A = this chain, B = another copy of it.
Amino acid sequence: MTSIKDVAKAAGVSTATVSRVLAKNAPIKPETRDRVLKAVADLNYRPNLIARSLRVQKSAKIGLVVSDIRNPFFTAIGRAVEDAAHEQGYSVLMCNTDEDPDKEEMYLNLLYDENVAGVIFSPTHQFDIHSQTYNQKMPFVVIDRAIESNDVDMVLLDNVAAAHELTEHLINNGYKKLAGLFGDASTTGQERSRGFHKALKDHQLNPAAAHFISPRIQQGYETAMNLLSQPNRPDAIFTSNSMLTAGAYKAARDSKLNVPKDVAVVGFDDTTWGALVDPPITVIEQPTEEIGRTATELLFQRIQEPSRSPKTVILKGSLIARGSSKGK
Contacts and interface: CB of A to CB of B under 8 A. Distances in A.
Contacts of A274: 273
B46 A50 contact: no
A96 B115 contact: no
Interface stretch (A68-76, A223-231, A233-241): A68-76
Contacts of A250: 275-276
Interface in A255-289: 271-278
Contact of A273 (B76, B93, B271): B271
Given A50-B54, A54-B51, A79 B75 contact: no
Given A70-B79, A246-B276, A44 B96 contact: no
A151 interface: no
Contacts of A49: 110, 113-114
Given A76-B70, A91-B107, A44 B133 contact: yes
Copies in the complex: 2
Interface of A: 44, 46-51, 53-54, 69-70, 72, 75-76, 78-79, 82, 91-96, 107, 109-110, 113-115, 133, 217, 246, 249-250, 253, 271-278
A75 B69 contact: yes
A210 B75 CA distance: 31
Given A70-B72, A91-B110, A92-B95, 11 more contacts: A48-B113, A50-B53, A50-B115, A70-B76, A94-B94, A246-B273, A250-B275, A271-B273, A272-B273, A273-B276, A277-B278
A253 B273 contact: no
Contacts of A133: 44
Nearest to A243: B272
A275 B247 CA distance: 11
A117 to B, nearest CB: 13
Contact of A82 (B47, B48, B79, B96): B96
A106 to B, nearest CB: 8
Contacts of A94: 69, 93-96
